[in-house]
Amino acid sequence: MKILRIATRKSPLALWQSEHVAARLRQAHPQLDVVLVPMSTRGDEVLDRSLAAIGGKGLFLKELELAMLRGEADCAVHSLKDVPMELDPPFVLPAILLRADPADALVSNLYASLEALPLGARVGTSSLRRQAQLRARRPDLQLLDLRGNVNTRLAKLDNGGYDGIVLACAGLQRLGLEARITQRLQAPEWLPAPAQGAIAVECRGD
C-alpha cells in the first residue's frame, strides 16, 4: 500500500484540518495509507511577540515546506489565509477545499456584543486587520496581543485576562466550540481575512 505523508502543525485545529483532508483522500483513494506528520513551527513556538514582528504568517509554512524538501512529507495542509500570495518554487497548491464560514467571532463571557463592551474594555487579538477594524468601531478599547492556539486563547479569556477576544468562526466550529461564539462579525460591517475558512493542500510541483 502506498503511503502519503501529510505535514501538519501540532495545534488541535491544524490536526483537525489535516485529518479532514486525510479522510477525504482515504475516501477517494482507498489504496492510500494516509498518515499525519505533526511538527512545530516558529510561528507556534514564539508567542511573546506579534506575528508581524517575527516575520508574518509565512512562519507557519516554512518548517512544513522544509520537511517536504527533505523528503519527510509528501504534502502539507494549511489554513489558506496563512499562505502567502506567492509560493517559493517548487511549491504549488493543487487543492483548496470548499470554504467554511469566513466570518470572525467576538468571544466574551460577560458581554453580548462588541457594542456592549464597556468603555476601555480589554480585547485580545494580534491580527493587525482585526485591530484596525476594532479601532475604527471602538477607539476606546484597549487592544492587547493574543497568541497561541484556539484553546490557549480561550483559556486566557476564561482566566480573566480579557473582556473579549476575536477569533475565526471556522476554527471554533471545527473544534466543536461554536457555542463560544458571542457575536459573528461579518461583511459588510466587518471584513474577514482573504481566504479565511478555506483549507489548502501544498506540495512540490516538481
- The pLDDT value recorded for residue 65 is 96
**How confident is residue 53, by pLDDT bands cut at 50, 70 and 90?**
low
Q: Is the pLDDT of residue 54 over 70?
A: no
pLDDT average, residue stretch 59-67 = 90
Buried b (16+ CB within 10 A) or exposed e, 31-70: eeebebbebebebbeeeeebbeeeeebbbbbebbbebbee
Q: What is the mean pLDDT of the chain?
A: 94
- The pLDDT value recorded for residue 48 is 56
14-18, 100-104, 144-148: segment of lowest average pLDDT: 144-148
pLDDT average, residue stretch 27-35 = 97
**How confident is residue 31, by pLDDT bands cut at 50, 70 and 90?**
very high
Q: Is the pLDDT of residue 56 over 60?
A: no
Grid cell, residue 158, equals 476564561
Q: Is the pLDDT of residue 49 over 60?
A: no
The values of phi and psi at residue 169, to 5°, are: -60, -45
Could you read off the pLDDT of 116-127 as tens digits, one per residue? 999 999 999 999
- The pLDDT value recorded for residue 25 is 98
Residues annotated as catalytic are 82
pLDDT average, residue stretch 75-88 = 95
Q: Is the pLDDT of residue 91 over 90?
A: yes
Could you read off the pLDDT of 131-187 as tens digits, one per residue? 999 999 999 999 999 999 999 999 999 999 999 999 999 999 999 999 999 999 999
Order of strands, edge to edge, in the sheet holding 164-168? 142-144, 122-124, 164-168, 104-107, 183-185
Cα(174)–Cα(186) distance, integer angstroms: 18
Grid cell, residue 196, equals 479565511
Task: List all residues 6 or more positions away from 164 whose beta carbon is below 8 Å from its beta carbon.
Answer: 106, 107, 108, 111, 114, 117, 121, 122, 123, 124, 157, 182
In contact, 155 and 47? CB cutoff 8 Å = no
Structural domains of the chain, ranges and CATH numbers in brackets = 2-99+196-204 (3.40.190.10), 104-185 (3.40.190.10)
